[in-house]
Amino acid sequence: MITFSKIKSAAIESGQRILKVLQFGVKTADEIAPFGDDASPLEGMTAIYAPTSEAGEPVIIGYINTNQVAKPGEKRIYSLDSGGGISFYIYLKSDGTMEFGGTADNLVRFTPLNAGLQSEVVLLNAELVKIQAVLTTLGGTYVHVPVTVDVSAAKINEAKCL
């Protein structure tokens, strides 16, 4: 029989998350999740507790989600703060966009940004050469020091986009 239980605590033992739940007393169960998912529930969340064919080996097969906003075809991954509020999320929307923690600003593509800045540097340096030539013709002195822009430290190689 599958039942609802309240999470009491979670601990990792030998690489496996073991949950203590309140269900007619305190019981423990292994957490079952899709491959590659590693998420620990907060105390007080409602878990779905189920026995297995192996006596004494119950499992938690999921949780009641109280933070749903995704529409059909969408996926949202989020973390919670200790009070149960959303602390960060990644929201893949059905319109082909993604929200990465919010909507207040935009992510940028490094390669075109760097290309645009380098193009502007070339134009700026050409103008500085012209200024140097005019000042020299008028008897003044101006030592042209080429302008450079290096944004390579801003590049995040671990995060890719279109």
Q: What is the pLDDT of residue 17?
A: 77
Residue 159 lies in a domain: no
Lowest mean pLDDT among 3-7, 93-97, 116-120, 154-158: 3-7
Q: What is the pLDDT of residue 72?
A: 87
Q: Are residues 69 and 58 part of one domain? A: no
The arrangement of strands across the sheet holding 98-100 comes to: 75-80, 86-92, 98-100
Q: Are residues 116 and 69 part of one domain? A: no
Q: Are residues 19 and 49 part of one domain? A: yes
Does the reported pTM lie above 0.85?
no
Mean pLDDT, the chain, rounded, equals: 86
Residue 83 lies in a domain: yes
Q: Are residues 127 and 101 part of one domain? A: no
Mean pLDDT, residues 55-76: 85
Residue 133 lies in a domain: yes
Q: Are residues 132 and 88 part of one domain? A: no
Q: Are residues 69 and 42 part of one domain? A: no
Count of domains forming the chain: 3
Higher pLDDT, 32 or 90: 90
Residue 161 lies in a domain: no
Which residue range(s) make up the domain with 48? Answer: 3-63
Q: Are residues 16 and 39 part of one domain? A: yes
Q: Are residues 79 and 38 part of one domain? A: no
pLDDT level of residue 120 (50, 70, 90 thresholds) = very high
Residue 149 lies in a domain: yes
14-35 tens-digit pLDDT: 777 777 877 777 887 878 788 7
Q: Are residues 55 and 22 part of one domain? A: yes
Residue 146 lies in a domain: yes
Q: What is the pLDDT of residue 126?
A: 95
121-160 tens-digit pLDDT: 999 999 999 999 999 999 988 888 999 999 988 888 777 7
